[in-house]
Amino acid sequence: MTEAQPLSDLIRRAQDGDRDAFQEAVTPYIQLAYNLAFTIMRHRQDAEDAVQESVLKAWTKLSQLRDGTALKPWFLQIVVNECRISRRGRWRSVIKLPELHTAHARDSEDHVVQATDLRRALSELSEAERLVLFLHFDLDLELEQVGDILGISAAGAKSRLYRAVRRLRPALLDGEEPLS
C-alpha cells in the first residue's frame, strides 16, 4: 500500500467522526504548522494557540476537505488564516514579554553572527515575504502548494518568492561580492 492510501483511509474515517483517525492524520503536520505559525506570529505562545485553534477548525471543517485534496496544504492554509485572524484581534494589543534566546556555548562565533544577520534581514521583510520564503524553503512546498495556501496562483507565488529573495539578498551579502 502507498503512503497516500492509508492517509485517505484516515481522512475518510475522520470524516465519519473517528477522532483517533483525525489525530493520526494531522499529527505529522503539527510541527510544520507550529513553525509556520511562529513565522507569522513571532511569539511562541501565540503560535501554539494558533495551531491549537487550527486543529480544532480543521476537525470541525473536515467535511469540506474534497476527495483528492492533499491534507497538508489544506491544513496549513487553515493555520495561515487562523494566524491572520489572531493578529487582527484586539487581544494582540496586550504587551507581551519578548522571546528570550540564548546562544549555546558550542556554537561558533561566526555561526551566531550569521544567524543574527539572517534574523535581522528576515525581520526587515514584510510578513507576506517571510511567509512565502518559509513555505517554499523551510517547508519545501512546491509553488502550486504555496499558492494554494496563500490563496494565489502558482505564478503569483513564484513572483512573490522572487521579490522576497531579491529583497533579502543585499542584506545578507552586505559588502560581499554576489555569486554569479
- The answer to whether 21 and 8 have CB atoms below 8 angstroms apart is no
End-to-end CA distance of the chain: 45
**pLDDT for res 1:** 32
So where are the chain's domains?
1-90, 108-180
Q: Which residues does the chain have with pLDDT short of 70?
A: 1-6, 90-116, 174-180
**CATH number of the domain located at residue range(s) 108-180 in this protein:** 1.10.10.10
Return mean pLDDT, the chain.
80
Task: Please tell me the CATH code under which domain 1-90 is placed.
Answer: 1.10.1740.10
pLDDT at 172: 72
pLDDT value, residue 98: 56
